[in-house]
Amino acid sequence: MNFTIRKITDKSRIFRHYFLFSAIALPIYLSLVQTAIADPVEQLLETRACPECELGSANLVEAKLNGANLSLAKLRGANFQKANLIGANLIGAYLKDANFQDANLRWANFTNADLENVDFRGADLRGAKFNAALLKDVNSQKSIFCRTIMSDGKLNNRDCRLSGD
């Protein structure tokens, strides 16, 4: 009989140790996981996906974000100068005051995006889509337009011969 009681006590100790370990280790683990993914800029650079995230004034100069998913992201004042965003999904993104100077935006999709006061100077916009996008006070000097769909749905082929497309 003593043996049975001892066995139950041993199981009870195991349970208490397991419970105590779980109560301490789990919050620490969750904190580490949350810290690891807490920085949305790092998440974007690592996974090329950050839909609906807030990256206002983010420094993404020369970032390699081909095919990135930034749909519905809040990117006010973000700096994408010389970044590579070929085929990026920026549908519905809030990009007011963003800088895309000299960026590669071939085939990027800006449908329904807010592009007020955006700097596209020198950007490669071949094949980009701006369907129903707000293009107010945009600077697009020296940008390349070829097979670019503008906010009114019209095709802009201004630079097709110059770009070899």
Q: Which DSSP string corresponds to 77-105?
A: T-B-TT-B-TT-B-TT-B-TT-B-TT-B-
Q: Residues 35-39: what's their mean pLDDT?
A: 61
Q: Rounded to 5 degrees, what are φ and ψ at 41?
A: -65, -45
Least confident of 15-19, 42-46, 113-117: 15-19
Threshold 0.85, pTM exceeds? no
Q: What is the mean pLDDT of the chain?
A: 86
Task: Write the pLDDT tens digit of every residue in 69-116.
Answer: 999 999 999 999 999 999 999 999 999 999 999 999 999 999 999 999
